[in-house]
Amino acid sequence: MTATTRTLTTGRRRGILVALSLIAIVAVYAVSVALYALGGQVTDVDADEPEKWDVKLSVVPQSVDAVRDRVAVRIDVENPGPADNDYGLTETLGVLVSGADGDRMLEFGSSGVPSPVSVELVTDGVVEQWPFDSHTGVTTIIAYRLVDGEPQALRTWVTASGRVPGWSISAHEVDLGMQAEFDGVREDVDAMEITATRSGSTITFGIVLLGLMIVMPVLVLTVAIAVYRGRRRVEASFMSWMGAMLFATIPLRTFLPGSPPIGSWIDFLIVLWVIVGLIGGLAIYVAAWMRWSPAPDAPPEASVGVPLEERVDLGVVDAREGAARQG
């Protein structure tokens, strides 16, 4: 193979690598945008209308507090049933919410259109598993009205809808063996299980950002080792660049979506070792500077820390040294 053919082959391979890299970047970008556009939806698995119902309520998740294990929801009265006269409530409508943090007895006044009420549902999850953490809460919602001062349960149809950015929330019915009395007949009452997981866009964002953090110590160690072995010139300004890399780690850590708490698995598996790699690279570069940097009273031949013949081979001899050698 001639030198020209070898050059053409090398250039073709580089072109292919560049094209594949661009395609990969565009693909990751397109997937991230698509996941963001499709994520955040609240999925109601059991949205079919039951055979019998008196009151229809809608549960709309508003936010997820993964650290406190709480899901804030808004309860809307979509159809008050027997307590409605087309203009508003004719009597007080109560709603019993189990699994809530705080007041579990909600009341909608007997005059006017019922206003939405916000409550927080208690969930169970491990936020330290970010971004693959899952938070699940179970609640039973039953509407009732007062008849002669006594609460009378109403068959309640509960649906879930809405959108929470950064989260994928699903809701489905579960049987906990609970019963309530409707018109003198005891019937089973299903509970609603709400599960909140990170959306695909959040997971993709976090993985890409963590991958970029891993690249930083790789670059620093590559430069530091090359300089220490004498393959590149010692440049003191590179220490500032390495220090900037080190101080940029914590801001990148806090920029992760969802703000995972300190002590998550990513801190032990990635962030800690990124910092170790950056400090190790900085230490190697300082050792290289001590090894190759000339003393203040050193002759010009020691300006790079290696013999002149080796510096000529490495292509790092400056014009003044080249002129002196030719002379």
169 and 263 in a single domain? The answer is no
Question: What is the distance between the alpha carbons of residues 199 and 39, in angstroms, rounded to a whole number?
Answer: 6
| CA atoms in the 13 A half-sphere facing the CB of 3 | 0
**Residue 277 structural domain:** 202-293
Q: Does residue 224 lie within any of the structural domains?
A: yes
- Higher per-residue confidence, 97 vs 185: 97
> How many domains is the chain built from?
3
Whether residues 57 and 188 share a domain: the answer is yes
Q: Is residue 320 part of a domain?
A: no
Residue 111: pLDDT above 90? Answer: no
Least confident interval from 179-193, 216-230, 280-294: 179-193
Q: Can you give the pLDDT at residue 70?
A: 94
pLDDT tier for residue 304 given thresholds of 50, 70 and 90: very low
Q: Indicate whether 90 belongs to any domain.
A: yes
* pLDDT tier, 291 (very low <50, low <70, confident <90, very high otherwise): confident
pTM of the predicted model, to two decimals? 0.75
Specify whether 171 is located in the same domain as 249: no
The pLDDT value recorded for residue 5 is 63
Domain boundary among 198, 220, 237: 198
**Domain check: are 56 and 138 in the same one?**
yes
| Whether residues 122 and 177 fall in one domain | yes
Inside any domain, residue 298: no
Q: Decide if pLDDT at 198 tops 70.
A: yes
* 46 and 191 fall within a common domain: yes
Residue 40 pLDDT greater than 90, yes or no: no
CA–CA separation, 119 and 136 (whole Å): 16
Same domain membership, residue 71 and residue 16:
no
Whole-number pLDDT of residue 316? 43
On whether both 139 and 257 belong to a single domain, the answer is no
C-alpha dihedral, 56 to 60 to 65 to 66, nearest 10°: 80
* Same domain assignment for residues 46 and 188: yes
For residues 58 and 158, state if they share a domain: yes
DSSP string, 274-286: HHHHHHHHHHHHH
Given a contact cutoff of 8 angstroms between Cβ atoms, the answer to whether 265 and 129 are in contact is yes
299 belongs to a structural domain: no
The yes-or-no verdict on residue 319 having pLDDT over 60 is no
Q: Is 322 among the domain residues? A: no
- CA 90-50-58 angle, to 5 degrees, is 55
